[in-house]
Amino acid sequence: PLKFHIQFLTDFDFNFNITWEDFIERILKKFRKPELQIGNKTFDKKYLLQTNNSELFLKVITSSVQNVILTYNIYSLSYQTNIRKERSELMSVIQRHAGNKEMILELIDMFTSIIDTLDRLRVIRKS
């Protein structure tokens, strides 16, 4: 499968996970506390959103990032922090095949946008 995996230095405890919302998740969410919604009905219906900082999450997952995720039917996108090691990683599973050049370039632009936002908000740091 096509995957992206990027590591960073960080002192900021921030995590998020965006995954396809399957049938089981739809049933389970009836019994859980309400999940995060971002206001994009198509995106909110298709993906399960989890984070420890919803305000920061909404700044990172912009409408242009949402559009790329929907366009290429990205399976998962996550950012996880290990504060003890002062490391974090941005990971994504896109699909089973690499896709075409246009798709790869759009995905690179999306990841660049996410990284730039994380840098601007000082979530990640330069070595």
Q: 25 — alpha (psi -120 to 50), left (phi > 0) or beta?
A: alpha
Instruction: Name residue 80's beta-bridge partners.
Output: 89
The three-class DSSP label of residue 126 is: coil
Residue 120: left (phi > 0), alpha (psi -120 to 50), or beta?
alpha
pLDDT of 99: 75
Ramachandran sector of residue 8 (left: φ over 0; alpha: ψ -120 to 50; beta: rest): beta
Q: Over 31-73, what HEC string results? A: CCCCCCCCCCHHHHHHEEEEECCHHHHHHHCCHHHHHHHHHCC
Q: How far apart are CA 96 and CA 94, in angstroms?
A: 7
Q: What is residue 61's predicted lDDT score, i.e. its pLDDT? A: 97
Q: How far apart are CA 99 and CA 112, in angstroms?
A: 19
Low pLDDT (below 50) residues in the chain: none
pLDDT tens digits along 58-82: 999 999 999 999 999 999 999 999 9
What pLDDT was estimated at residue 89?
Answer: 97
Q: Partners of 6 in the beta sheet?
A: 90
